[in-house]
Amino acid sequence: MYENEERAIKFLIKAFKGNKNKIDNMERCFHSILVGNAIKDITKYEEIIIAAYLHNIINYTEYGYEDIEERFGSIVSDIVTEISEDWSLPKWTSRKKEFIKRIKLSNDVNNINIIVADKTQDLLSFRSYYEKKNNKLWKELNITKSDATWFYREIYNIALSKNANPKLLNRYKKELEYFFGEIS
């Protein structure tokens, strides 16, 4: 198991070399490692852990389904594909609406857990910028606060309805409330 995890981490570090997050200027590979570690805390299933580490490969690198399948098998590449956004849609809102529609249909709580861990890390990476510049964050991301509120809360509602892991969901809820106010 550890050998495959190490291969996945080495692969994602290579894939993301020089690729940094827009807001916190941190290498994207660190975000992916944090998401993988969060999932590793709640499951022992190797394919799910590896998919969590690789969750952003399709969205942010030159690597696609076949590259992941060749290295880690079809189960991992299927999960990564299911939780990836459709970047052929040019607008943020279009991508997010399609993504929400698709994950509402998902019956795999493991995929939902990866999404929750991913979105939690997204929000955590926004914190220091938000503390300094508050609502300018949304302008920097080219979205409205209203659209961000809708998207991140919709993820929460879906995850709640699909019985996502309570530990992950509670941490996500804390971040949601920090940015968007109390959730009832």
> Taking a C-beta distance cutoff of 8 angstroms, is the pair 59, 52 a contact?
no
Per-residue pLDDT tens over the stretch 110-120: 999 999 999 99
pLDDT of residue 179: 93
Mean pLDDT within 40-52? 97
Q: What is the distance between the alpha carbons of residues 174 and 29, in angstroms, rounded to a whole number?
A: 24
pLDDT of residue 165: 98
With a cut of 90, say whether residue 25 has pLDDT above it: no
- 96 CB burial (10 A radius; 0-12, 13-18, 19+): buried
Domain boundaries along the sequence of the chain: 2-180
Q: What is the distance between the alpha carbons of residues 159 and 167, in angstroms, rounded to a whole number?
A: 12
Mean pLDDT within 31-40? 96
> Taking a C-beta distance cutoff of 8 angstroms, is the pair 95, 63 a contact?
no
Per-residue pLDDT tens over the stretch 170-181: 999 999 999 999
Query: Regarding predicted confidence, which is higher, 53 or 135?
Result: 53
SS3 135: coil
pTM of the entire predicted model: 0.95
With a cut of 90, say whether residue 44 has pLDDT above it: yes
Per-residue pLDDT tens over the stretch 59-80: 999 999 999 999 999 999 999 9
pLDDT of residue 22: 79
With a cut of 60, say whether residue 107 has pLDDT above it: yes
Domain 2-180: what homologous superfamily?
Hypothetical protein af1432 (1.10.3210.10)
SS3 27: strand
> Taking a C-beta distance cutoff of 8 angstroms, is the pair 31, 125 a contact?
yes
pLDDT of residue 2: 73
Closest CA to 122 of 111, 130, 134: 130
Query: Regarding predicted confidence, which is higher, 26 or 101?
Result: 101
Per-residue pLDDT tens over the stretch 119-169: 999 999 998 888 888 878 888 888 999 999 999 999 999 999 999 999 999
pLDDT of residue 1: 57
